[in-house]
Amino acid sequence: MVKCDSCGANVDLAKGSNMGHCATCNNIVEVKEQPQQQSQDASGKAGADGA
């Protein structure tokens, strides 16, 4: 999950874009590492579910 740089809340991501919006502080965030974080989270969850 991507966090806002300003307040630390979760960021809503735009489909097909590297931009996100923080509803808490109304900040626009450019996401650079989201695909890497998603694959790490997904592999961690899959391992926990499979065990």
Identify whether 50 is part of a domain: no
Instruction: Give the separation between CA 22 and CA 8, rounded to whole angstroms.
Output: 9
CB 12 within 8 A of CB 25: no
H helix or E strand, kind and range, residue 29:
strand 27-30
Flag whether the pTM goes above 0.85: no
Residue 51's pLDDT band, with cuts at 50, 70 and 90, is low
Identify whether 49 is part of a domain: no
- The 10s digit of each residue's pLDDT in 29-39 is 988 764 544 44
Residue range(s) defining the domain that contains residue 18: 1-44
Number of domains in the chain: 1
Query: 49: which DSSP letter?
Result: H
Instruction: Give the separation between CA 23 and CA 27, rounded to whole angstroms.
Output: 7
Q: Check whether 48 has a pLDDT greater than 90.
A: no
Identify whether 51 is part of a domain: no
Q: For the chain, what is the mean pLDDT?
A: 76
